């Protein structure tokens, strides 16, 4: 699982993989290529409350709407899926091609538009299945779709461009 995060005014990206109670993570701050990595034992003791063991230290974490309370200290934090689009996003350029890439290896299960169709920002373009979950790739802005050899049943690699919005 990948998430874009904001914590105490800093922006970063976190990649998380669970294996039972072990949580492996890689954290990159402010676009810095140097990542913090580690393994943390995490057990949800009640909804939204976690008992964490990291580097021999124990933490009590409570997730809330405006952040996380860790051992009584509030940390302003927010996370979002990088595939989600919202009207406030400014990462999509207003002009020039916008590429829609598969976030992970998988199989194309459905095309939601045809090559040359006009689309609106946030409109579904293609559905990719990975690990028995279907993910809808959406247009980051309005424009005309150019499919890149994308066809139902085809396999895709992580990062492979599926379509371009012109």
pLDDT per residue of the chain (166 residues) written in tens, 0 to 9: 777 777 766 777 777 788 777 777 777 766 555 556 677 888 889 888 889 888 888 989 888 877 888 898 888 877 777 666 554 444 444 556 788 888 778 899 999 999 999 999 889 999 988 888 888 888 888 899 998 877 888 888 877 888 889 8
Topology given in CATH for the domain delimited by 98-165:
OB fold (Dihydrolipoamide Acetyltransferase, E2P) (2.40.50)
State pTM to two decimals: 0.45
Q: For the chain, report the end-to-end CA distance as a whole number of angstroms.
A: 29
Half-sphere exposure of 110 (CA within 13 A, CB side): 9
Does the domain made of 2-80 have the CATH classification 3.40.50.300? no
Residue spans of the domains in the chain: they are: 2-80, 98-165
Q: Report residue 119 CA to chain centroid gap.
A: 22
């Amino acid at each position: 699982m990948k998430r874009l995060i904001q914590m105490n005014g800093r922006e970063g990206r976190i990649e998380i993989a669970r294996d039972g109670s072990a949580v492996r993570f890689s954290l990159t701050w402010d676009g810095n290529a140097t990542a913090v990595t580690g393994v943390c034992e995490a057990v949800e003791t009640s909804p939204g409350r976690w008992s964490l063991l990291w580097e021999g230290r124990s933490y009590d974490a409570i997730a809330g709407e405006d952040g996380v309370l860790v051992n009584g200290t509030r940390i302003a934090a927010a996370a979002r899926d990088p595939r989600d689009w919202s009207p406030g996003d400014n990462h999509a350029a207003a002009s020039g091609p916008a590429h829609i890439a598969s976030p992970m290896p998988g199989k194309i299960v459905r095309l939601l538009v045809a090559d040359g169709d006009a689309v609106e920002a946030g409109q579904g373009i293609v559905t990719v299945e990975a690990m028995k979950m279907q993910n809808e790739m959406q247009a980051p802005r309005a424009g005309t779709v150019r499919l890149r050899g994308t066809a139902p049943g085809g396999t895709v690699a992580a990062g492979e461009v599926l379509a371009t919005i012109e």
